Structure 1
Amino acid sequence: MKTKCFLVLVFVFTVLLSACGNLSGDGNKTTGLSSKISPKQTIQIAFEALKNGNLKKFNQFIQYNDRREGVFVYKDNKLFGNNLDETEKEFIKNFSYDIGEVKESGNVTTAQVKITNRDLSNVEKDIPHYKDADNPLIEAIKNSDNKMVTTNLKITLNKTDGMWKIQMDAALADALCGGLLAKW
């Protein structure tokens, strides 16, 4: 159990630190993007960028909040950095989405979105089988079955500096990671 907890912590800190390490001034700007893009188009552009591995573009359409965990404060902590590593490629390998009803009200919009991705919700059970690997979690993800899971979400978009941005929250992050984050 201690080994499992340790591996989970190592993975989480590795992803967080690598994501923060990929931040650059360019990745935080939406320069060159039209302020005439609708909320639905924003979702489409962001999710297509994610599917195509263009994380710099994806992150331009995402609004991240600062969060505090104990003594750590994560500012602009991105779910994915601007470049995909092997673990992150596994998260979005079979990602798809369907946008439902979009309700715009001033500077806030809500949208019903179905996100389908590989079901990684039980992958932590397989980590001990790969304890001798360089990264047991990556191996467990790579060797997991290709079962898919669909999550129905209500996502929020906020108009910031004339641009629509998708509000990243725990439910959206978990859906994009195939249910893996809910376990931790």
Structure 2
Amino acid sequence: MKKIFSLLVLVFVFTISLSACGNLSDEGNKTTRLSSKTSPKQTIQIAFEALKNGDFKKFNQFIQYKERREGVLIYKDNKLFGNNLNGKGKELIESVFSNFSYDIGEVNENGNVTTVQVKITNRDLSNVDNDIVRYADADNPLIEAIKNSDNKMITTNLKITLNKIDGIWKIQMDEALTDALCGGLLPK
């Protein structure tokens, strides 16, 4: 029972630390280093490098998030990673992406929609919830479990969709991409 409670608390804390509901200011909506001349491949490279470097604000500027409805609540522009993470939130996300890598393959551009084959590799973090109990006495058990996870890697081959919005390419975020980026850490 204690393990289930700990897991529920973990999921709640992790979800809160990764979700940044709300809109950015107009200043924050300005896209950096993107122009109508930036190719879909360059867009992925810049976004994924921003993610590897812990620049979540920049990463979010390259992503198209879908609006979703859960009951009466509407999540619009719900970011996977908050724009201004600091402290434990930033340390948590940086630990998730410490071994992240990617390889961009074939690009198929068709008007305002492009699909790109991408191979994403990250540590397999799908069992971190089982390991968290070992680090119950740590300052942040989740971060310790991630940092001390075995370095088993998982590679996922994906077809990523990019949409041209106002002349700028944006990566369409979906569950498969989220799962691959996070090494299976997020609850399904």
Q: TM-score of the superposition, structure 1-length normalised?
A: 0.88
Distance in 1, matches of 2:103 and 2:156, equals: 10
Distance in 2, matches of 1:76 and 1:22, equals: 7
Measured at CA, do residues 10 and 150 of structure 1 come closer, stay the same or move farther in structure 2, by a change above 3 Å?
A: same
Alpha-carbon deviation of 1:54?
2.3
- Within the candidate set 106, 111, 116, 2:111 is matched to 106
- Matching residue's letter, 1:114: K
Distance in 1, matches of 2:7 and 2:59, equals: 32
- Matching residue's letter, 1:72: L
1:25 to 2:26 alignment: yes
- Matching residue's letter, 1:118: R
Measured at CA, do residues 157 and 10 of structure 1 come closer, stay the same or move farther in structure 2, by a change above 3 Å?
A: same
- Taking only aligned residues, the RMSD between alpha carbons, in angstroms, comes to 2.0
Measured at CA, do residues 31 and 130 of structure 1 come closer, stay the same or move farther in structure 2, by a change above 3 Å?
A: closer
Query: Are the aligned partners of 1:127 and 1:136 in contact in 2 as well (CA < 8 Å)?
Result: yes
Alpha-carbon deviation of 1:31?
5.5
- Matching residue's letter, 1:50: L
Distance in 1, matches of 2:10 and 2:65, equals: 26
Gaps in structure 1 of 5+ consecutive residues: none
Distance in 1, matches of 2:81 and 2:158, equals: 19
Partner of 1:9: 12
Which moved further from structure 2: 158-167 or 67-76?
67-76
Aligned pairs (5 A) from 1:160-179: 160-179=165-184
Query: Are the aligned partners of 1:23 and 1:81 in contact in 2 as well (CA < 8 Å)?
Result: no
1:119 to 2:118 alignment: no
| Cα deviation 1:18-44 (Å, max 9, x = unaligned) | x33794433322266321111111111
Alpha-carbon deviation of 1:73?
2.5
1:93 to 2:98 alignment: yes
| Cα deviation 1:80-119 (Å, max 9, x = unaligned) | 1224411110111111110111111111010100001111
Distance in 2, matches of 1:31 and 1:144, equals: 34
Alignment size in residue pairs = 181
Q: TM-score of the superposition, structure 2-length normalised?
A: 0.86
Distance in 2, matches of 1:12 and 1:41, equals: 30
- Matching residue's letter, 1:124: D
Alpha-carbon deviation of 1:173?
1.0
1:44 to 2:49 alignment: no
Alpha-carbon deviation of 1:122?
0.9
Query: Are the aligned partners of 1:27 and 1:59 in contact in 2 as well (CA < 8 Å)?
Result: no
